[in-house]
């Protein structure tokens, strides 16, 4: 049996999914109990789905999923998973607080590989110190999960276990997951909703968080209809989140997707072009596919998190390629457009990227150091974001407060 692949928040208060992998068919069982109480006094059963990798060896594995329900908010539990044929190590987690006044703390990054995973040790230690409630991995895993008949994916899951076994590990797909129609990604991860982890949303504290696939714009061989399906789902989800009674409880709307709409790297990626497909859509296909910038702006998305570029870049509030700062002195206090953060420098075999020398005026701060970001949704009006440099031994090299007294489309006007 393998180590635990991790915990996933189901989006339902008081519940979590525990996932792990075995190479033979066994029962799917989690035994758990309160920290300091009787060990394993509770148990839950689930089931296992067969995943056959599409590589030459057609390796077969069983992905186990067990949902724990009725968890007490903020209580710490000790657990192990497996069956009478073999158990995992003992791990612990703290059940997420379901209150909208909770101030969750996140670690966020993309582009983390098995080779040169520079930020991993620091992230493992900080997770185990209890510094994070949730981790957001914004696409690109392992480099690449399908390689060596998916053994690279197995190795990656072992590698992140010391994070993902302790806090929910929430994901979105990146371009490195595309092989065999994203099959390693779709099978190994178990995000909320019914879209095989491609797009979904969930609530935590005063935030509504939306994860989606930028890759539908690039891999149209897997179905052009996915662009439209996702777009319609995003529109419905944003509409629901913007109902006055919902936005009053969870005023912040935060998105995470792999390829950014804007960036100032010099690698000729989509975001280096003025008309990025993710931003403005694709006019070169029939029917033309809508981009996401206008949609996110119209529904008052506050913060947009991205990766893909192996660098860190913070943008001034931007829409339509123009800067809309709150004021000259305080650009992020009541900004007049969404705030974009690109955090793709966690570490992988492709190393970090270079920046072009003349960034556009929306580029506020950038760094080629390896590292990752932290975010705290403090309350209904304040979000804190900072960037950690692993090259500089964990030094915080950038930080901002985004402050909004008003949310939604009217906040821009």
3-state secondary structure 256-293: ECCCCCCCCECCCCHHHCCCCHHHHEECCCCCCEECCH
pLDDT (0 to 100) of residue 1: 56
pLDDT in tens, 161-188: 999 999 999 999 999 999 999 999 999 9
Instruction: Report the candidate in 262, 365, 388, 376 with the shortest Cα–Cα distance to residue 314.
Output: 365
Is pLDDT of 154 > 70? yes
**Percentage of the chain modeled with pLDDT above 70:** 99
Average of per-residue pLDDT across 383-391: 98
pLDDT in tens, 86-104: 999 999 999 999 999 999 9
Give me the chain's average pLDDT, please: 97
Cite the DSSP H helix spans in 189-276: 225-241, 244-249
Average of per-residue pLDDT across 146-165: 96
pLDDT (0 to 100) of residue 274: 83
Cite the DSSP H helix spans in 13-146: 120-128
**Percentage of the chain modeled with pLDDT above 90:** 98
Average of per-residue pLDDT across 405-410: 98
Distance CA 43, CA 64 (A): 15
2 band by pLDDT with thresholds 50, 70 and 90: low
pTM for the predicted model, two decimal places = 0.98
Is pLDDT of 3 > 90? no
pLDDT (0 to 100) of residue 289: 98
Q: Please check whether residue 78 is in contact with residue 89, taking contact to mean a CB–CB distance below 8 angstroms.
A: no
pLDDT (0 to 100) of residue 148: 98
Is pLDDT of 19 > 90? yes
């Amino acid at each position: 049996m393998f180590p635990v692949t991790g915990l996933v928040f189901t989006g339902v208060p008081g519940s979590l999914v525990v996932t792990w992998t075995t190479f033979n068919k066994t029962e799917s069982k989690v035994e758990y109990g309160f920290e300091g109480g009787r060990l394993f006094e509770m148990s839950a059963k689930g089931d296992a789905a067969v995943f056959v990798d599409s590589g030459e060896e057609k390796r077969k594995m069983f992905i186990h999923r067990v949902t724990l329900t009725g968890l007490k908010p903020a209580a710490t539990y000790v657990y192990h998973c497996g069956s009478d044929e073999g158990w995992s190590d003992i791990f612990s987690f703290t059940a997420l607080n379901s209150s909208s006044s909770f101030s969750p703390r996140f670690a966020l990054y993309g582009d983390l590989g098995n080779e040169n995973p520079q930020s991993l040790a620091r992230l493992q230690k900080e997770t185990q110190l209890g510094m994070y409630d949730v981790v957001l991995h914004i696409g690109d895993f392992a480099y690449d999960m399908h390689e060596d008949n998916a053994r690279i994916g197995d190795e990656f899951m072992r590698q992140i276990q010391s994070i993902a076994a302790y806090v929910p590990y929430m994901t979105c797909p990146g371009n490195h997951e595309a092989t065999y129609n994203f099959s390693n990604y779709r099978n190994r991860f178990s995000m909320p909703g019914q879209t095989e982890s491609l797009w979904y949303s969930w609530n935590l504290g005063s935030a509504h968080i939306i994860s989606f696939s930028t890759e539908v714009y690039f891999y149209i061989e897997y179905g052009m209809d996915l662009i439209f399906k996702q777009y319609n789902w995003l529109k419905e989800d944003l509409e629901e989140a913007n109902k006055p009674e919902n936005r009053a409880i969870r005023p912040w709307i935060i998105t995470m997707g792999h390829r950014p709409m804007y960036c100032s790297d010099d690698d000729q990626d989509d975001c280096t072009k003025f008309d990025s497909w993710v931003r403005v859509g694709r006019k070169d296909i029939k029917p033309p596919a809508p981009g996401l910038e206008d949609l996110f702006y119209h529904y008052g998305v506050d913060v947009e998190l991205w990766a893909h570029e192996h660098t860190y870049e913070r943008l001034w509030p931007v829409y339509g390629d123009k800067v809309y700062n709150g004021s000259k002195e305080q650009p992020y206090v009541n900004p007049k457009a969404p705030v974009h953060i690109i955090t793709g420098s966690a570490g992988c075999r492709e190393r970090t990227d270079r920046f072009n020398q003349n960034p556009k005026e929306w580029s506020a701060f950038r760094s080629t150091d390896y590292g990752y970001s932290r975010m705290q949704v403090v309350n209904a009006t304040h979000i804190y974001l900072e960037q950690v440099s692993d090259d500089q031994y964990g030094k915080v090299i950038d930080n901002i407060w985004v402050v909004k007294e008003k949310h939604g489309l009217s906040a821009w006007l």
